[in-house]
Structure 1
Amino acid sequence: MAVYRLCVTTGPYLKAGTLDNISVTLVGTCGESPKQRLDRMGRDLAPGSVQKYKVRCSAELGELLLLRVHKERYAFFRKDSWYCSRICVTEPDGTVSHFPCYQWIEGYCTVELRPGTARTVCQDSLPLLLDHRTRELRARQECYRWKIYAPGFPHIVDVSSFQEMESDKKFALTKTTTCVDQDDSSGNRYLPGFPMKIDIPSLLYMEPNIRYSATKTASLLFNAIPASLGMKLRGLLDRKGSWKKLDDMRNIFWCHKTFMTKYVTEHWREDHFFGYQYLNGVNPIMLHCISSLPSKLPVTNDMVAPLLGQSTCLQTELERGNIFLADYWILAEAPTHCLNDRPQYVAAPLCLLWLSPQGALVPLAIQLSQTPGPDSPIFLPTDSDWDWLLAKTWVRNSEFLVHENNTHFLCTHLLCEAFAMATLRQLPLCHPIYKLLLPHTRYTLQVNTIARATLLNPEGLVDQVTSIGRQGLLYLMSTGLAHFTYTNFCLPDSLRARGVLAIPNYYYRDDGLKIWAAIERLPKPAVHPRRAGEVPHCNHLQLLCPARCCQQWAA
């Protein structure tokens, strides 16, 4: 008689425990155990509990390959979800095998867990394990389906697919009702405290292992609703008129003051701070070092000589690599929007900046369109204070549009969603890259679904408060993605291509390169493709490669 000792850990989350019957089966190289129900005196599998059980077998099972968790009905009770953190198995000879789960198990189903040691497909030779990989990925691909949100967009998760899944037959999926198309504006409704419509149906359904926990959801609502109501009461969210003077804006931001907000309030008009924001502001990736001026920006030496001084000239500074350009070309053809029945306007500026001998980056010239001529003057620091300030304000407005739509939402959220989806669809739980990426992508699909339901939906926040509206946002993102290259993914290559490796006081670059170096060191020992005795490629990783799957940026 061989006795295996189990230590079962239930997650500490709200409603993580279950009343359903939980049984386990151990599968080894020499056979499998009888199905053993996990049942003791008192409450089993309560939230946060760590409980011990025994599984008796007629003989030892050999090396443990799988642990099957069976979730079945208990008496007349309805289905009860269970969050299983992990199960540790102590074998008769004292060897301890860890079976991580860390997922919600919904409905009545059987989940197969593998030992926690990361393994690539090259390291699995047993048909049982290879078949387990295939079945796991097939189930995930049925659950996490691709959807085209708009032409030219990265593919996104199809939220409606979660409504179609039957939890008794799939991997930890919820049973729900008939689907509603996410793009159907009939689901848009107003909620108290929110001035824009929200796509309610798309928020109701999300696979339990990628949606927010109850605690995180409560925290989100606790912060979002008071903030939205506060901005509404202060006249920011649904303001229909214009501010009469700059001091009026201070009344909007009278609360939540910090040292940084005070500093910005006092220095936002200064050229030095304007230039500093290109290095360490919200969008520090716009600068390109140039060796010659583009034909569409006909700045002459006489225009900028008062700022450069007598000891140098524009051509000399270009040759020294001290002249930088921020080009907002992507806004030139962007459609505009109407707010409060008034047409809105968008500039596509060219901003020329100079790195002074003191190490400060300051603006030299601003042209607010991509086409030079009488209708597109070049603004200079020597112009009147209000003309120069207005030109810088238009640049900041363009900076906001490019940053929020492309740098932030496209490159941070949507591209990450493509890789999060590819990870879920193409890598099994035991793959080392899956284990590495999963903690960093846990809430990616949920937060993006919320954004599409509140910001990108028709009559959502983007339509309510931005000059380009939803159609302009779709244009900017599709155009940005069409010009996105693999170099943009690689920080060192991107910095080198933009010529900003040597510019001083560029903390985004300094911190980013340290993080890049740390990340680059992590996966190499686990999945190096040419370790001795292994196949020199991995099909799972090939399916994640952007170069191979450029249409979706991930398979």
Structure 2
Amino acid sequence: MVIIKLLSTMGRIWSHFHQGETDRELTIYVTTGDRRKAGTDANVWLILHDEKGQSTDTIKLGHPFRNDHERGATCDFKAFSGDGFGFPYKAEFWRDSFGLGDSWFLEKIEVEDKTHGTRHVFPVHRWILPNRHYVIQEHDCRLPQEDENIEQRRTEIKECRRIYQYAVRIEGGPAQIKDLPEIEEFSEDYKWDIVKNKGRSMLDTKIIRLTTDKWESICDLKKVYKFSLGDPAYLECWNEDRWFGLQRIQGVNPVLIKLCTKIPKKFGVTNEMVQPFLEGFTLEEAIKENKLFYVDLEILKGINCKDGRMLCAPLALFYLNRHTELMPVAIQLFQDKGPDNPVFLPSDPPHTWLLAKIYYNNADAMYHQSLTHLGFTHLLMEGVVICTHRNLSQSHPLFKLLAPHFLFLLAINSRGLEKLICVNGWVDKTMTVGCKGMFELMKKGMRVWHFNVHGMVPNEIKSRGVEKDVLPKYPYRDDAVQIYHTIRRYVEKTVHCFYDKEDKVVNDYELQQWRAELVKDRKLGGCGFLGVPGEENNRFTNSEEVIDTITAIISICSLGHAAANFQQYDEYAFPPNYPGILYGDPPRDKAPVTENDILNKIPTKQTTLDIMTITKILSTKATKSLGDFEIQFMYNPICVKAAEEFREELAQISRQIKLRNRSEAFPYDWLDPEYIPNAISI
């Protein structure tokens, strides 16, 4: 029976290929996706349609005695069209359920017409179900109101709404995926298993051979890195005031520093306290000259931490000196003034001042991990990914524009973070807040996060009053703003290609439904975002609103996450620099303390090892650089050109940053486009 079937198949292929001399030869390239279970043993067929409504005969996409359509492979097939057949306009294809492994993820079909020297691309990026006919137009990029294949769009969106469902796992927190769809799984799970990678890293470090659990001295702690995972970048300057100031503008959490226009009443700073550090200015004069900046971590007040740990909610004041260095001049560890809540100063006993800075950084680290990193990138964008799949067809231009920036985001959140943020997991062991406090912080953060402020870098910078004419040296701001505008130009070219008239925005019902679900209350099945453009009319009415929204999303998924993530090892690995957890109570007076007192506060050897290994893994770039897309979704010539120009602009920015960093004592290269991934995939 097998021989008969093969002979019959060969006969059909020969009959199909043996055409008249006037027929045109076509070469068909079929690319199967590179993901688990993507390859198929099923029989596959194809019909090509031209713009005049003419069709080829049914073409069987299979070779005798060959395994076609294997994972990650491109197979080519010869076919012939009638002499009157025009350019391929649509590809219609289907498969059966033959074979042990019949599931199939089809990436794209390309048709080469050597007679006319043309190549036509039909991007698919779909799991192909058996016995269903799929029709893909060339480039597969149409607004819904212009798509002749509307029923297929509606069917696919309906299926996506079934697969991509919201769940609010953190009370008051961001929307998350209910169940991870198979299509969102990592290609190779073992590469992304944080727990296994942690185990391998621990084997690589000799710290596990150390017997006692307490550090004997700071020097004792410093020695560990040379024999294990490498020295954190700031190992030798961690205790300097200059570095403490730099952490506010180029550290792992560079989004909190604000211009000080008046001293908050709750901040017990007086002129007499700080005037010795203001280079001759009084406190009032320094404020008028825009010389003072501050951070207020009030959001941390009242957070219930794991095991009743004490968390500060500090305020810190910084002075911009004549060398344009941001220097700390006052730290108050709690919000309410009182005799047991002193204002710590650089003139205090050295280790007392140092301990105040350490406790401030511990609080800053809680904000960083809970909000800047996890809450406002990973989890916030998880809702956007779900919303996009539920409302925008895969044929929608905006879906294709966003898709490269969603790669593995749901997978890393579902498979990765669940290993870290769980009862007695990494966060509970190495972060003062623990999971309980982290979730409370996320709930608070979601109440104040606004899309049109915090999601848009230039607006966010402006809201803090830290533009370049006020704060000349601010590496995060300079790089982030420049890259944000570059992303916006790229988005603008693509959006204007499809929305050349504003009524196309208004009439795009997929787009309008997408926005509606972005702002819909999370309890009712939406993302619950505040400040999404189009708020005035409760819908998008022009292309600028669309451009701003898409730019913000891509920005958060790329530069936003990069700034908050990849410096983690350098910041956290040496605990006194940026401690994830501290033991005991914060200082309540200015009594002198010793190095041993500080050693009693910082993490033990085992906890330090946990911090080192996980932050080392999290600081590893996992996907390609921004603009160098892992998968090409866009084939429209205008969009392809826009992407090329995008990469060229990013390359120029990369060269500028590298040139700047050559002369910097503390280079900031975390937003060098070469190091910014497309997506949140680690």
Structure 2 gap segments, 5+ residues each: 1-18, 530-682
SS for the counterpart of 2:184 is coil
Equivalence map 1:250-329=2 (5 Å): 250-255=222-227, 261=232, 264-309=234-279, 311-329=280-298
Question: 1:142/1:395 Cα in 2 relative to 1: closer, same or farther (>3 Å)?
Answer: same
Amino acid at match of 1:494: E
1:38-53 maps to which residues of 2 (within 5 A)?
A: 38-43=61-66, 44-53=68-77
2:257 and 2:294 in contact (8 A); partners too: yes
Which residue in 2 is equivalent to 1:245? 217
Q: Report how far residue 211 of structure 1 moved.
A: 1.6
Q: Are 1:433 and 1:523, in contact at CA under 8 Å, matched by a contact in 2?
A: no
Q: Does 1:210 align with 2:218?
A: no
Give how far 1:526 is off.
3.4
- 1:462 CA drift (Å): 1.5
Matches within 5 A, 1:227-242: 227-230=201-204, 234=208, 242=214
Change (3 A) 1:227 1:57: same
Match of 1:490 in 2: 456
Q: 1:519 aligns with which of 480, 487, 492?
A: 487
1:180 is aligned to none
Q: Equivalent residue for 1:147?
A: 167
Aligned partner of 1:462 among 390, 410, 427:
427
SS in 2 for 1:545: helix
Preserved CA contact (<8 Å) 2:50 2:88: yes
What letter corresponds to residue 378 of structure 2 in structure 1? H
Q: 2: distance between equivalents of 1:235 and 1:103?
A: 50
What is the CA–CA distance in structure 2 between the aligned matches of 1:220 and 1:104, rounded to whole Å?
A: 28
Structure of higher RCO (CA pairs closer than 8 Å, 6+ residues apart): 2
Would you say the 8 A contact 2:260–2:290 is kept in 1? yes
Distance (Å, rounded) in 2 between the aligned partners of 1:337 and 1:469 = 5
Deviations 1:323-361 (A, max 9, x none): 1111111111100212xxxx4211111111111111110
Structure having the larger proportion of residues in strand: 1
Unaligned ranges ≥5, structure 1: 160-205
1:40-79 equivalent positions in 2, closer than 5 A: 40-43=63-66, 44-54=68-78, 66-74=90-98, 77-79=99-101
One of 23, 30, 39 as aligned partner of 1:17: 39
- Residue in structure 2 matching 1:349, options 311, 314, 332: 314
- 1:181 alignment partner in structure 2: none
- What is the distance in 2 between the residues matched to 1:462 and 1:240? 23
1: CA distance, partners of 2:342 / 2:195: 47
Choose 211-220 or 367-376, whichever is displaced more. Answer: 211-220
State the 1:299 CA deviation: 0.5
Offset from partner CA, 1:52-83 (integer Å, 9 cap, x none) = 33566789777756434323233xx4224434
- State the distance in 1 between where 2:140 and 2:124 align: 13
Once the two structures are TM-superposed, the CA of residue 41 in structure 1 deviates from its matched residue by 2.7
Task: Render the CA deviation track for 1:116-155: whole Å, top value 9, x for unaligned.
Answer: 152222433x3xx122221121111111111111221111
- TM-score by length of structure 2 reads 0.66
Identity of aligned pairs, percent?
A: 28
Cα distance in structure 2, aligned partners of 1:45 and 1:144: 27
Q: Give the structure 1 partner of residue 556 of structure 2.
A: none
SS in 2 for 1:293: coil
TM-score, length of structure 1 as denominator length: 0.80
Q: Work out the CA distance in 2 between the residues paired with 1:59 and 1:96.
A: 18
* Secondary structure of 2:138 counterpart: coil
**Aligned partners of 2:81, 2:268: CA distance in 1, in Å?**
84
Distance 1:51 1:230, change over 3 A: closer
* 1:296/1:372 contact within 8 Å kept: yes
Query: How much does 1:410 deviate?
Result: 0.7
Letter in 2 for 1:249: L
Residues 257 and 355 of structure 1: is their aligned pair in 2 closer, same or farther, counting only changes over 3 Å? farther
- Give the aligned CA root-mean-square deviation in angstroms: 3.2
Matches within 5 A, 1:80-119: 80-90=102-112, 94=116, 96-105=119-128, 111-119=134-142
- SS where residue 284 of structure 1 aligns? coil
Q: What's the counterpart of residue 188 of structure 1? A: none
Cα offset, 1:35, TM superposition: 4.6
Contact 2:215 2:221 (8 Å CA) reproduced? yes
Q: What are the equivalent positions in structure 2 for 1:369-448 lying under 5 Å apart? A: 369-448=334-413
Going from structure 1 to structure 2, the CA distance change for 1:50 and 1:244 (only over 3 Å counts) comes to: closer
Question: What is the CA distance between 1:518 and its match in structure 2?
Answer: 0.8
Q: Structure 1 322/240 Cα, relative in aligned 2: closer, same or farther at 3 Å?
A: farther
TM-superposed deviation, 1:500: 1.0
Distance 1:536 1:6, change over 3 A: same
Is the 1:210–1:445 contact (alpha carbons within 8 Å) kept by the matching residues of 2?
Answer: yes
* Contact 2:205/2:228, CA 8 A, preserved across alignment: no
Offset of residue 36 of structure 1? 3.5
CA drift of 1:92 comes to 10
What is the CA–CA distance in structure 1 between the aligned matches of 2:414 and 2:131, rounded to whole Å? Answer: 27
- C-alpha displacement of 1:229: 4.6
More helix by share: 2
CA contact (8 A) 1:349 1:366 kept: yes
Decide whether the 8 Å contact of 1:21 with 1:38 is kept in 2: yes
SS in 1 for 2:441: helix
